[in-house]
Structure 1
Amino acid sequence: MLSIVIPTLNAEATLAATLHAVHAAAPPVLEVLVVDGGSTDQTRRVAADHGAVFVSSEPGRGRQLAMGAERAAGPWLLFLHADTVLPTEWADAVSRFITNDANQGRAAYFRLSFDDASGAARRVAGLANWRGEVWGLPYGDQGLLIHRDFYQEVGGFRADQALMEDVDIVRRIGPMRLKRLPYAVVTSGERYRRDGWWLRPARNLACLTLYMLGAPKAWVERLYR
């Protein structure tokens, strides 16, 4: 059975679509946990309207994800962003993965696409998919499916990791133990539309480079924001 963990902070604008897609299929879902970092909007109401368990947390995505994993009851965990919509085929892809015993020591993620039909959006998604496939560095927007035992073996999400928590955990998993599922999630391109389809990826790459070089977390967070 599967527990889905969704970290939120003022996510009322996107959370409903995310939760609707979760329930649109017939997967082996045991529970959906919305782990909230102090929202002041209607995130709690949206979660309740869609039958999700609402968990309050201190803010910080690493901390929220770690708390969700701790509270989750299922042997399999799917970590999902609040602005990411699963494909209609997601339940089949997940079921195939989790019923293969060999995958208890592996993790999986989805291909990436944006809610934007522009060529720039397709290019950014293509580069992200290439990075995940070649470098073994998918981002949290693509979801992360992992067995609880393997999650604990690699050390899980780190509560002090407010940013780059996704990169941190997949580096510990390692590219040889990551599998890309054959379907694409649709994630919000709002940050890219706001900052620019060239500038935002450039800033993301700069953040990744600084992080990989061991720069202070404050530098990375300042550049990302």
Structure 2
Amino acid sequence: MADTAAPNPAHLSIVIPVLNEATTLAATLEALQPLRRRGAELVVVDGESRDASAALALPLADTVMTAAPGRGAQMNLGASAAGFDTLLFLHADTRLPEDAPRQIQRALETHRWGRFDVTLTHQPGVIAALINAGSRLTGVAAGAQALFMTRSAFAAAGGFPERPPREAIALSRQLKKQGRPACLKARVESSARP
């Protein structure tokens, strides 16, 4: 008899590119440990940091890799090493909402990719509201919104462009050719820096 059980929502690979993130990285990875214990994979790709980012990540991630600096190239490398078919790209200072894996799983039942709404720390709420509304309207997402997708959608879009800036926006434009994103109302919390 075939196994008809739904896939485990925690079976996702969380790819985090870092560059000199020692001040925020440990807290971000600590917050992800409950997901890791339930089966999520944490892949950290360090862009030759001059601080202790890579060393801080070693005990808190499943894979820690080093690449030349460049967020797009780092995320592509992390995706190539990821073990699951659901990919989530997270900035080193971004916190996921509660139950994010299940929300992602549900979204990917009807979409090939998506993103969360965002709250920006230390910024007026109107800025995040404009980002979220603009993303809903255009179907284009920013990196701070924690993009997620199937591995096949990522491959079909050609991955992230390796030259900055705004690699997440460029990828989301390619993903949009496969269909509009799932725009989840649950919010990630991120800093306002680029």
In the alignment, structure 2 segments of 5+ residues that lack a partner are 1-10
Distance 1:27 1:155, change over 3 A: farther
Which among 10, 15, 21 is matched to residue 5 of structure 1? 15
Identity of aligned residues (%): 34
Which among 160, 181, 185 is matched to residue 182 of structure 1? 185
In the alignment, structure 1 segments of 5+ residues that lack a partner are 192-223
Which among 96, 99, 103 is matched to residue 93 of structure 1? 103
| 1:26–1:91 CA contact under 8 A, matched in 2 | no
More helix by share: 1
| 1:18–1:86 CA contact under 8 A, matched in 2 | no
The structural deviation recorded for 1:139 is: 0.5
Q: 1:147 and 1:27 mapped to 2: Cα distance?
A: 22
RMSD of the alignment, in Å? 2.0
Task: State the TM-score, normalized to the length of structure 1.
Answer: 0.75
Q: Is 1:135 paired with 2:138? A: yes
**172-181 vs 39-48, which deviates more?**
172-181
Q: 2:157 and 2:88 mapped to 1: Cα distance?
A: 16
| 1:36–1:57 CA contact under 8 A, matched in 2 | yes
Distance 1:147 1:82, change over 3 A: same
Task: State the TM-score, normalized to the length of structure 2.
Answer: 0.86
The structural deviation recorded for 1:157 is: 1.2
- Structure exhibiting the larger radius of gyration computed from Cα positions: 1
Aligned to 1:166: 168
Aligned to 1:107: 113
Aligned to 1:208: none
Q: Deviations over 1:73-131 (max 9, x none)?
A: 21111111111111123133123234x2x43xx20101010223xxx520111111011
